[in-house]
Amino acid sequence: MKETGSKVNMAAKPKAAGADGVEAAPPVAAAASGIWKRFLGPYYVCNLVALLIYLPIRYQYDSEALRDRDNYLNIPLLEIFLMALGSWLINYRKKATADGVIALFFMYGKLGVLAALYYLDTALFGWYAVYCLVLFMAVGQPKYDGPAKITELNPAQMERLVKPTAKASGSRKGSKTSATSNSWLVFYYVDWSDYCLEHEPMLADLSIRYSSDSLRFGKVDVNKWSDLAVENRIDVSAASWQLPTLILFQDGKEAMRLPPIDANGKVTKTILDQVRDLVWCR
Q: Is 98 among the domain residues?
A: yes
Q: What is this structure's pTM?
A: 0.69
CA–CA distances in Å: residue 85 to residues 1, 67, 90, 154: 21, 20, 9, 43
Query: Could you say which of 88, 120, 138 is where a domain stops?
Result: 138
**20-29, 100-109, 153-162, 226-235: range with lowest mean pLDDT:** 20-29
Q: Give residue 265's domain range.
A: 143-166+178-281
Q: How many residues does the chain have?
A: 282
Q: Is the pLDDT of residue 159 over 70?
A: yes
Q: Is 22 among the domain residues?
A: no
pLDDT in tens, 9-41: 333 333 444 444 444 444 434 334 556 777 888
Q: 107, 198 in Cβ contact below 8 A?
A: no
CA–CA distances in Å: residue 30 to residues 26, 194, 224: 12, 30, 35
Sort 164 into a burial class: Cβ within 10 Å, 0-12 / 13-18 / 19+. Answer: middle
Give the number of domains in the chain: 2
CA–CA distances in Å: residue 53 to residues 45, 110, 174: 12, 10, 66
Q: Is the pLDDT of residue 270 over 60?
A: yes
Q: Is 230 among the domain residues?
A: yes
Q: Is 56 among the domain residues?
A: yes
